Amino acid sequence: MLEKLLELGKKYADEVEIYQISYLGSQVSFENGVLKDIESVIQSGISLRVIKDGFLGFSYTKNLLDPESLVKNAIDSLKGEVKVDFNFPEKRYLKILNTYDPEIEKLSNTKMVEEGQRISEILYETTKTQINVGLNKVVLEIRIINSRGVDYNIKNSIYYCYTAAMYPGSYSSVMRIVADKKFKEFPKEDMDYITFLYNNSKREVKPKGGRMKVLFLPNTMYVLIWRLTYGTNGKNVYEKTTPLIDKIGTQIFDSSITIYDDPLNDSLPGARSFDDEGVDCRVLPIVEKGVLKNFYFDLYYGSKLNVGSTGHGYKATDWGQESIRVRPSPSLEHLHMVPGDKNFYDMIRSIDKGIIVSQALGAHSGNIPNGDFSIGLSPGIYVENGEIIGHVKDAMVAGNIYEVMRNVVSIEDKLYLSNMGVFPSVLFDDVSVAIKE
């Protein structure tokens, strides 16, 4: 079917690319230990990009009932006169990855319900608070073919589970995510982590604000990383909306920080050998020992700056959009931060006075292009003399990543999957904390 569509497109355009995706997912959710919802999702779609006379056209469909219309829509979109200076990639050797575990097919909703009940019961016994659990199973298949010989496909199996202990009368929580290519029982050490943080911070406290140590947990590190991905995005480099222009080779963070993108690491779910444009993926250092190493590009912006694509053209979406509807753009989808040498609990014991950012509200607040952030804490966990004293409501942490991430006290010795990648907990010094009195 796709081959026929390719031949049809070649009749009207100089170059043709077809992207096909299918998504099969099941999710189970528990609220306050009670089964709330079971949902299954099946999605599929095809998008078409064409290049004709140096201009780019795009169309998509969820059901290829009328190939002629799909091609016509792509050709008609050429009227938008999106000028491009690139060709679709030629076929290349790709690293063979182990991205799919057939065990995922055996994972039933019943099994996920049983696991959700198990987690809820154990954590309720240790915390006596509301426990929310979400379990998800996904099988994702992508195929890309183009008129220059590319014909790539990949199949990913993904299982992940998030578990949260909720503070009474609020949406604030302590949480953890686990993920694999197949079902993985939620580990006891992660239950112990949730229990420890929640039980020691149950009491509400109102300390004074000021500049102090702030510990970002793995699941809140994205607040800082988001600003870095903006600053190193090839689109923003081209448009000159990032403060990092001409900063390659410059020290921008503490020398203990190394961050790189690794789509090829198939020990984690979601690994990729090619991006959504058929460009081969590679490991890309972003920051190495505090020094800015690279920007990242898709075909479009890589060609604008005559540097080519770095294999980071993805159909990245926000706010529930379907990926089939959007065109590829520069995106970091597989970020890793090199861990440090400190045990998490020792990091807490090293804090004379400080806040643990358990959950963040308003991560989009502040001047993101400039690296600024200003987030509400949901909650903040207050630490004094190495001990957790309680949790803080109505508190905010603010700063600029190019200042805050120069003041690293310590980095956790383990990595955890979270939003935007895998990260450790990181303790920073001299961060501004505002607490409503």
The amino acid present at 10, given as its one-letter code, is K
Tell me the C-alpha distance between 217 and 198, whole Å: 14
Average model confidence (pLDDT) across the chain: 95
Whole-number percent of the chain with pLDDT over 70? 99
| Per-residue pLDDT, 75 | 96
pLDDT digits (tens, 9 = 90+) for 81-96: 999 999 999 999 999 9
Question: Residue for token digits 């800082």?
Answer: 224
The answer to whether the peptide bond before residue 379 is cis (omega within 30 degrees of 0) is: yes
List the single range of 148-162, 196-210, 312-326 with lowest mean pLDDT: 312-326
Report whether 382 contacts 210 (CB < 8 A).
Answer: no
On the question of pLDDT at 317 being above 90, the answer is no
Topology of the domain comprising 2-192: PmbA/TldD fold (3.30.2290)
On the question of pLDDT at 170 being above 70, the answer is yes
| Per-residue pLDDT, 232 | 98
On the question of pLDDT at 321 being above 90, the answer is no
| Per-residue pLDDT, 360 | 92
| Per-residue pLDDT, 143 | 97
Three-class SS of 349-418: HCCCEEEEECCEECCCCCCHHHCEEEEEECCEEEEECCEEEEEECCEEEEEEHHHHCCCEEEEECCCEEE
Token digits of residue 241: 């909306």
On the question of pLDDT at 103 being above 90, the answer is yes
| Per-residue pLDDT, 142 | 97
For residue 331, give the 3-state DSSP assignment: coil
Confidence of residue 353 (pLDDT cuts 50, 70, 90): very high
pLDDT digits (tens, 9 = 90+) for 4-27: 999 999 999 999 999 999 999 999
pLDDT digits (tens, 9 = 90+) for 417-435: 998 999 999 999 999 999 9
| Per-residue pLDDT, 156 | 97
Report whether 187 contacts 178 (CB < 8 A).
Answer: yes
| Per-residue pLDDT, 1 | 83
Whole-number percent of the chain with pLDDT over 90? 91
pLDDT digits (tens, 9 = 90+) for 43-79: 899 999 999 999 999 999 998 888 999 999 999 999 9
| Per-residue pLDDT, 320 | 58
pLDDT digits (tens, 9 = 90+) for 273-282: 999 999 999 9
pLDDT digits (tens, 9 = 90+) for 192-235: 999 999 999 999 999 999 999 999 999 999 999 999 999 999 99
| Per-residue pLDDT, 179 | 96
Tell me the C-alpha distance between 217 and 294, whole Å: 26
Question: Residue for token digits 């203990």?
Answer: 256
Domain ranges of the chain: 2-192, 202-437
Report whether 215 contacts 388 (CB < 8 A).
Answer: no
Report whether 115 contacts 161 (CB < 8 A).
Answer: yes
| Per-residue pLDDT, 319 | 59
The average pLDDT across 28-39 equals 96
